[in-house]
Structures are given as structure tokens and as C-alpha cells.
Structure 1
Amino acid sequence: MTEIRMLSTSGILGYGYAEESLRIGMERKPHAIGADGGSTDPGPHYLGAGTSFCSRLSVKRDLKLMLLAAMAAKIPCIIGTSGGAGGEPHLQDTAALVREIAREEQLSFRMALIHSETDKATLIEAVNAGRMRALAKLPPLDAATINRAERIVAMMGPEPIARALDGGAQVILCGRSSDPAQWAAVAIRGGIPPAVAWYAGKMLECGAEPSVPKEPDCLLVTLRDDHLICEPPNPIRRCTPLSVSNFALHENASPIHHTEPGGMLDTSDVVFEAVSDRAVKVSGMTWVPAATYTVKLEGVERAGYRAISICGTRDPVLISQIDSYLETHRNKVAMKAADFGVPPSAYRMGLRVYGRDGVMAGWEPTPKPMGHELGFVVEVVADTQDIANAVLAMARTSMLHADFPGRLCKEGNMAFPFSPSDIALGPQYRFSVFHTMAVDDPCAPFPIEYETV
């Protein structure tokens, strides 16, 4: 029976993991080591700005330990969705970090960069050929939306990663990739059936999350022809049937049907069995190939420029009439902005009220749960940063000094925890492309570049 062992260090490169967990995991002689490097969870900003949501310092620490372990064991080290979002800036920044570590540690290896930022002309051609389908209730993709986008990435499946392994790469940095794809690539290439390979990828994509207690750390998965076994190397953690089955629901629209590039993982008949007090065997999954191979596209466009201010009040008289106070506040800001020649169409102002409905907003099921203090995040998004800053300054002044019935305070109504009180956040982005593109060749959108480091 074929056996493949793979070690995932954490859910996101840069989240950290116990060095001892890595040492114990490497003693099990895995065939590959890796980590997912990104996600859409932090929102559209990082894809648009070309920056990472993890610090360079933490990513370098995690990556250095992984590279040293992989080179010593002569196994591949694979990073999915490099740099947090998988665009070209993210891929290049991660590659620069790898080269820096190699120089400092005197390492030498063959590295593959798999690009996923997609040429706009190619995408428009695909639109015209009818090969696009909208996701997330978005409208059909058109040339105007593509051209407005700051950056668009395609999400690779396992095929480009397997091709890079075939090309002799010891370190593989992926642009945007399906979270389980890097693991499925190693397993399928090693002879494991797709169903087991993809399920293992689902377990490994977030490191030790299928174990308890939950914390960023390593996970070892052993795959055989008809099952897999999940076990955390760290002795303080353990996988249980409940923890593994609970994690299997992670980020899926359906609890049993998981759509991936090239097909669907069906977990209707999966069985979870404890093989020890720390390890769980999973079996019974099936793989249904898709009639047409599609890749997901993710793109963002600039929606304006943002500025925020954070403040709070503990005044019971003000809190008792907060709705009317905020309505008056909105009207005053609109009038002041108009006096300065800023029409309502040039900006949007938002107010989050923490202590009432700041988290759930209109979905808050508990009517008016007022505390003894309220916190406010005042947000302005405008066509330019100057307009956003100007309107926010008006909003901050109004929040601070506006009068209200029964007011006893003759100075400021709000407490500001920070100086400066007004924080310019720069460009704001929104997701504009969440579509799938049918392709004839799963590797075609993902060119591979090799180098000797």
C-alpha cells in the first residue's frame, strides 16, 4: 500500500508554530513540508495594495525553520498563496525573503515560482468566448470590470505544483492557490487517489486546527490508498473524531460537498475513527471529476480613500438618546461638507456603535442592548484622501462638541484613545471579481519560473 506523509507547519505562514513540533514532525520523515501563505479572510485590501497581512519578521522566522528542515531532509518545501494574496508583488516579496535566508544560511536549491496574476487581455478574451461564470451573486464579468481591477489572480489547482515538482524544484512558491492544492499535488503525484489526497489537503491547510487545544502549530497527516491519519506532533495537542470532523466543515458552503479545481470532494460517507488518544483515521471519501475544469478568479478594484476616527462616551444622558444624537450628527456633517463644496455624492460616512450593534449591525437580534459606555468608529470613504480627511475632521468635531437635550458636559462629549484622532488609511478596495473561468489546460494560467538559489 502506498504511504505518503506530509507536515504542515501552521494555518498561515507567519502565524508561528512551536519549533519542537517541527522537530518531532520531521522525525516522522515526511515526504513534503509546507504551509499555506494566505487567504481572502482579511479582506480585499492586501490583494489590491500588494502587501502581506503577516509581518516580514514572523514570516521569515517560520520560513527559515522550514527551509532548514526541508534541505536537511532533502524534501520539497511548498508555500501556497505566497505573501498573503498570491499576486505578483506577494510572490516576488516571498521569493526575495527565500533568497535572503539562503544567503544567510548558505543554502542552495532549485526554486520554482508559479505565477497566478492574470493578464487582463486574456481574461477579456475568455469573457468574449463565454468561459466565465459569476460566483457570490455577482453580475456577469465584463471588460469594464476587468479593466477597473487593481489586480486579478487565478486560483491554481494541484497540476502546476506537480509540474514544478517534476521540474526538480525543491522549494515551490505558489501565487494564489486553492488551500488544499499544494498537498493534493504531492499526494496524487505520489500515487494516492484524488479523494484521499484532497481530503488530506483540507486537513493540512490550517496546520493544527483539526486538533485541540487550538493554536497555530504543526499537523502531520499520513495518507494511504483508502484513508488518512491526522496527528499533531506537539504532545500537548491531540486529534479527536470531534475535532477532525468539526474542522471538516471549515469554509464550505456544504458540509459534505467540497468543490475544488477539477472536481468535487464528496464526504457523505466519511467515517472518523480514533486510532489512539491523539490520532484519527478518516476514510470513506470519494472524488467526482468535473466535466469542465475551472479555476476561480479573485480581483479587487479601488473604491475610494478611507479615514477613520475612534472615540467613546460614558455619558448616560447621551447614551439614552444616542439614535437621535447620531441622526443630528449625520445631518450636521452633511451641511458642513456642503458648505465646503463637498456634495453627498463625493463621500460615504459610516458609524459603528460598539456596545450596541457594532459587530452585527442590522443583524443584531437583541434590541437596543445598551451598556454603560459606547464606542464609536467613524469612517469616511471619499473620492480622494483629501476629501475623506476633511469630512472626517468635520465628523469628529461634530461627535465631540454637538449639543443635546439635558447635556451637562460643557466641553467634549467623547473620549479619544489616540492622538492623532484622525487616521488616514489610504486606498480602500472591494472585491469586484469572484468568477470561475473554464480552461482547457489547468497549467496554462500559471507559468512556472525556475531559478537556482
Structure 2
Amino acid sequence: MGSLTTLASGLEPLCRIITPVGMLGYGFDESDIKDALEYSLISKTPTAIILDSGSTDSGPMKLALGTMTCPRASYERDLRKLVTIVTKYRLPVIIGSAGGDGSNGHVRELVDIIKEIMASSSNNAAQLKVLAIYSEIDGTTVLERLRMGNISGCGPYFDIIVGGRSYDPAPYVAFSAYHAFNQSYRPVLSLDSHILGGFTHMGKIMECGGLCATPKSPSSQAMIYRDGTFDVGPLLPGAVCTPASVAAHTLYEKSRPDQLHGPGGYIDLSSSTYSLLSDNCSVRVSGTTFHSSKGSGSCYTVKLEGAKVIGYRTIFIGSFVDPILISQLHSLLERVKAYVAQQHAHIAEKWELGFHIYGYDEANKAVHAKNVFVVAEALAETQVTATSVASSARVGCVHGPYQGQKATSGNFGFGLGGKGEIETGLCAEFSIYHLMNLEDGEEDATEILHVNQSKQKKLFSFEALLIGAGERVQRRHPDVDTIDRLEDVHLCPTPANVVPEIVHPITPMPQTVGEAAKVIRSKNAGPYEITFDIIFNSKDTYDRVKNSGLLRPQLIAELYDLSLDNIVYCGFFDQALAFKATIPRMRNGRPAASGGFMEDDVHGSQKYLPLMNLKLGGK
């Protein structure tokens, strides 16, 4: 983003945000963001490091069992780097949805890690102010709101904020709004709809790091302007953002591309514009509008997430290679299930058994891989029974007879990892994914000033902690020698050695959707939906496919064995040269949540193949 573009537009910089990685705990390379950090030392524009730490993408286990997305050691590694950035560059750090689920316990866990880091010899000369924000809602309150029909399906100066469960763009909106209010605290919904729309849209893009770039990258940064316009660019050398790649990221993980719903309302992207800047690697976005639910007479809502334990699980894994057996694989597995039921006829508790089969073409049994891989899952009320069921099923796979059998020593190759059966422990499934209506003012958090106050009935709260025994780290204040414009400064770093993007040659006349697409993907849009995005290679190709009438709700329903009224969304998105379709997540012909028993694609990222193989002009 060069100076000419900035000066010509007359835009007033408001704040700047650096996101080193899309998820705390995944690891990041400090060198990727070094130039952006160094620039903060000479810029008057307030800058923050903001990153997400939570998601329901990986299923219900975190909510049900209190586990974290990453091992504690991964959070220690990333937080050690972030504490170093705070003390060296004197920039604030904001973290949302601590530990994956954003529970109060995981907020405290990350705060404890910061305490351990600050107690080390390398940091004992400094002191940080850490705000811990707690977002768990008392179960009694939830039950009261449920009985009332109000639940439906669906601060001060600081150095570090460790937030509980939050809407992914929320930390980005909060920092931007704080500076829009001239570093004071006022209701976010009092912002102009275009300004709040821009802040929220920026947060939606930035919370995934550099996924809006080509090639996709771990880190990104944004310059936010006072009118809600923002510029976004990658920090990985050699990566670029384009108008199409940024617009396309608006589709990511969402049911539809033009409206993105969140707490307090939704953003309307139907009039958003995306312009390439003079550095040829960053993009300016404007025109997004926020529609407040209160403004339309509805309540402010928050999402409730919960999960429950449904039993214990044991698995076994292995493979079949005999072509005679593979040609009748399903009939063999049905006999295995019958054998297991007969062996457990004396068991009163409930149990289930299922098989994941890889490398087998049901439509053409004569064509298959040389090795068909199987993962079997057993679910029961106790671990003992789950393991017994799995063991009997494995014996049936090894020794079960079949027509034309010649290999009599054993049917099934097993023993990977030295185990016959693998006990995976408790199995969970989502049980709560609803919206709760709030009363006026309940969306605000109150500070915990003393022990008794923490027991008051407030939905959300925070506390301020001074961590470290050394001298208080002081926020850097820009002086007259710093700059407040971006003359001769670009969002994108100087190109360096980087893994080059794999460029697939564009077929002059693509014959399949896969050949016509630059990006084709599937992804969960919450626990209950799968969404598909196809971003096309060129406008000519996009127009050709759009005008052909090939991609329509009837086709999506046919490809994924659904009724037409099951289609959640199906349509084209001109700004990104893209097509999007969203369907309910199904398992065994019934709606299902991600994770749980017999889940084999919790992210939903492997469901796009039927679309990829579609022939243009027909199936």
C-alpha cells in the first residue's frame, strides 16, 4: 500500500492491526511480522497484535471435556513470543476465545502461563497489566431464559487481554471502536453503520491470518481508517492479496456470502468494494454496512455453545487386500456386525458399531485400490464394553468366511502402532448451539474489583491483573518525529525467499468445474452445516458457468442426496467470481452435528469432490 494511494484518497488512519497467525497455539515465525513491528516504532497510528484462539471447527470435545485445542506447550511457546513483543515494542496484545472454547478455566490457564513467563529470569525486570475477560454464562440464567422463551436455535489501559469465548471478529472490532471513540469507552452500536460494518468485515478477514492471500499465509496486517474503510495485506514475503482473494475470503466458513450474522446484528456485503492498491499486493475494502438487531426492534443475542458426553469409544484400524473379499466387502461387514451382536447378546447396556471405508468404489466394485483401509468405531456406555465390541469386530474381520475364499490364514491386516484395539476414551457431541436474548445492557462486562463482587449475577465480567515483579511496561507514545501517514511504506514486505505458489495452467476451454476453478473447497459453517465455495479462474469462465445454468439448487441436492428444501443457500457472488452452496451436515441420511460418533471429517473440508468432477455443460 503506497503513499500515493493513501494521500489521494484523503482517508484518515485510525488504527493498525497485526495478526501473526490465525490461531494461538499453531505457532508463528517472528521474522514474518518483524517489518510490521519495526514500522510501529515510527508510526503515529495506534497498533495492536490481535489473534483468535478458539473455534467449534474441531468438534465438541473441548466443550464437553474441558480440553484445549493445542497442547499447553504450544500456548507457552506462542505466548512467550507475544510477551517479548509486548515488552520490546510496547504494543498491546488481544486474544479471543482462550484455549479453544473460551471457558473461564482456559482464560485462567493462559493467564497462568503469562505469570510463569513473567516470573522467568528473562522477564523479571518488567510488569504487565493483563485483563482477563470471562464469558461463561451461569446455567441457572440459561434455564431461566429458556423457560421465558428467550433462547432460540442457531476497559482500561492494558498490555494483554486474554478473552473468553467471543465472536471471532470481536477483538478486532473492539480495538478499532476504542480508537474511533478517541480512546474512550462507549457502546459499540452507537457507531455509524458503515464504520461498524467496516470494522466487523475487517475482523472477519483478519481473524484467519493470511488466508485471504495467495498463496495462503499465516500472518497479515490491516490499516483501518476512521470512516470504516480498511486495507489488508499479507506479511509472508512473496504472498499477495487481490480483490478476488479478499472478496473470496468473505465466503469462508459462512452459510452465505452477502450477509454475515453475529452478536447484535449482521453485516451486509452486497455493496462492498475491493480495490487493488499501488503496491500490487494489498487491497482496500469499503462499502460494508452493519445492521443492528436492536435497530430493527429485536434483542441483542449471544450464542450458547455446549456439548455432552455420550459414551466411551474404542477403534481398530487395518486393511483388506484380497480382491475376492473386496468385491463383497459390505456383505462381509454386515456379517461381522451380526457376529458381534451375537457375542454381546448378554450385554444390557447400549452399544454401536460402525465402519469407515477408504479406497473402495461402491459404484464400480471392479475398480478399487489395491489396499482398502478400514477404521472401525465402537461406542458403548463403558470403556470395557466398547473395547469388547471392537475386539469381536476385529476378530470377525480377520477370520470371517466369504464366498470364493482362497486366503485362509487371515483376511485383515492390523497391528499399526502395536495395538489391536485403541481405546480413545470419552466421546462427545454438541448438545447446545442456540441464541439467547439479552436484556438491555447485559452485553456489557463489569469489572471484578473484589471477591464478593465476582458472585454478583452478571453475565460477563473481567479483572485486571498486574503480572511480574519488575518495572511497569509503559505504552509507547508517538512523538513529533513519528509519521502518521504511510508515505513510502507498504503493507506487503519486501519479497524474499518463499515457497512459490503452485500455478496450475488454465485450460483454454475447461471441461470440468475443477479445471475452471482457481479455488474449490468445502468447510463447516458452524457444527450443523457444510458450505462449498468455487472461485473461478477468470471472469469469462465465471460468466460461462453462471450463464450455463449448471450450478443450481437441484444439482446440489442430487449430488449430495438431499431434498431440494434441505438446501440452505445456493447462488453466485459476483465480487469474488464465486459460487457458494450450503447444505446441512448429514450422517447416515440424517442431520448431524460435527464431531461425535462416526465423524470422519470434522472440518467438512473433504466434501467438495462431487463438485470438482462435474463436467461443464452437464454431469
Question: For 1:222-272, what per-residue CA distance to the aligned partner results, in whole angstroms no more than 9, with x for missing partners?
Answer: 011241101112222111112111111111111010011111111001111
Separation in 2, partners of 1:248, 1:28: 28
187-196 or 74-83, larger mean C-alpha shift: 187-196
Alignment map for 1:19-58 (pairs within 5 Å):
19-29=30-40, 31-58=47-74
Question: For 1:91-130, what per-residue CA distance to the aligned partner results, in whole angstroms no more than 9, with x for missing partners?
Answer: 2221221111222233411111111222111111111222
The residue that corresponds to 1:147 in the other structure is none
Task: Give the counterpart letter for 2:375 in structure 1.
Answer: V
Mapped pair 1:96 → 2:112: yes
Separation in 2, partners of 1:214, 1:61: 23
Separation in 2, partners of 1:236, 1:418: 40
426-435 or 22-31, larger mean C-alpha shift: 22-31
Task: Give the counterpart letter for 2:330 in structure 1.
Answer: D
Mapped pair 1:223 → 2:228: no
Mapped pair 1:391 → 2:392: no
Report SS of the residue matched to 1:206.
coil
* Residue of structure 1 aligned with 2:408, choices 400, 407, 410: 410
The residue that corresponds to 1:140 in the other structure is none
Show structure 1 runs of 5+ residues with no match: 136-165, 358-363
Separation in 2, partners of 1:226, 1:169: 24
Task: Give the counterpart letter for 1:449 in structure 2.
Answer: E
Task: Give the counterpart letter for 2:379 in structure 1.
Answer: V
Show structure 2 runs of 5+ residues with no match: 1-11, 41-45, 181-190, 445-457, 468-619
Task: Give the counterpart letter for 2:347 in structure 1.
Answer: V
Separation in 2, partners of 1:90, 1:334: 42
Question: For 1:189-241, what per-residue CA distance to the aligned partner results, in whole angstroms no more than 9, with x for missing partners?
Answer: 111821111011011111111112124x2110001124110111222211111
Deviation at 1:88, TM superposition (A): 2.8
Q: Is the contact made by 1:10 and 1:206 (CA closer than 8 Å) also made in structure 2?
A: yes
Q: Is the contact made by 2:196 and 2:228 (CA closer than 8 Å) also made in structure 1?
A: no
Mapped pair 1:329 → 2:336: yes
* Residue of structure 2 aligned with 1:295, choices 290, 299, 302: 302
- List, as ranges, runs of 4+ consecutive aligned residues in structure 1 with deviation greater than 6 Å: none
Separation in 2, partners of 1:321, 1:2: 67
The residue that corresponds to 1:265 in the other structure is 267
Separation in 2, partners of 1:85, 1:355: 35
* Residue of structure 2 aligned with 1:18, choices 8, 17, 29: 29
The residue that corresponds to 2:429 in the other structure is 430
Alignment map for 1:186-205 (pairs within 5 Å):
186-191=175-180, 193-205=195-207
Separation in 2, partners of 1:69, 1:127: 44
Alignment map for 1:233-382 (pairs within 5 Å):
233-275=235-277, 276-291=279-294, 292-338=299-345, 341-343=346-348, 346-356=350-360, 370-382=368-380
Separation in 2, partners of 1:298, 1:185: 22
Separation in 2, partners of 1:347, 1:336: 13
The structure number with the bigger radius of gyration is 2
Mapped pair 1:134 → 2:134: no
Report SS of the residue matched to 2:311.
strand
Question: For 1:41-88, what per-residue CA distance to the aligned partner results, in whole angstroms no more than 9, with x for missing partners?
Answer: 110012211112222222222222122112323222111111111123
Separation in 2, partners of 1:212, 1:235: 11
Deviation at 1:332, TM superposition (A): 0.6
Question: For 1:353-392, what per-residue CA distance to the aligned partner results, in whole angstroms no more than 9, with x for missing partners?
Answer: 01137xxxxxx9x665632221111101111111111111
Report SS of the residue matched to 2:162.
strand
Report SS of the residue matched to 1:109.
strand
The residue that corresponds to 1:120 in the other structure is 139
Task: Give the counterpart letter for 1:355 in structure 2.
Answer: G
Question: For 1:393-430, what per-residue CA distance to the aligned partner results, in whole angstroms no more than 9, with x for missing partners?
Answer: 11111111111112222222111222112111111111
Q: Is the contact made by 1:319 and 1:373 (CA closer than 8 Å) also made in structure 2?
A: no
Separation in 1, partners of 2:68, 2:94: 18
Separation in 2, partners of 1:356, 1:243: 36
Deviation at 1:12, TM superposition (A): 0.8
The residue that corresponds to 1:211 in the other structure is 213
Report SS of the residue matched to 2:427.
strand
Separation in 2, partners of 1:421, 1:41: 30
206-215 or 295-304, larger mean C-alpha shift: 206-215
Separation in 1, partners of 2:29, 2:129: 27
Q: Is the contact made by 1:15 and 1:58 (CA closer than 8 Å) also made in structure 2?
A: yes
Deviation at 1:290, TM superposition (A): 0.9
Q: Is the contact made by 1:34 and 1:66 (CA closer than 8 Å) also made in structure 2?
A: no
422-431 or 398-407, larger mean C-alpha shift: 398-407
Deviation at 1:2, TM superposition (A): 4.3
State the identity %.
32
Deviation at 1:283, TM superposition (A): 1.0
Q: Is the contact made by 1:204 and 1:219 (CA closer than 8 Å) also made in structure 2?
A: yes
Report SS of the residue matched to 1:15.
coil
- After superposition, the CA RMSD in angstroms is 1.7
Q: Is the contact made by 2:314 and 2:425 (CA closer than 8 Å) also made in structure 1?
A: yes
| Normalised TM-score (structure 2) | 0.64
The residue that corresponds to 1:419 in the other structure is 418
Task: Give the counterpart letter for 2:67 in structure 1.
Answer: T
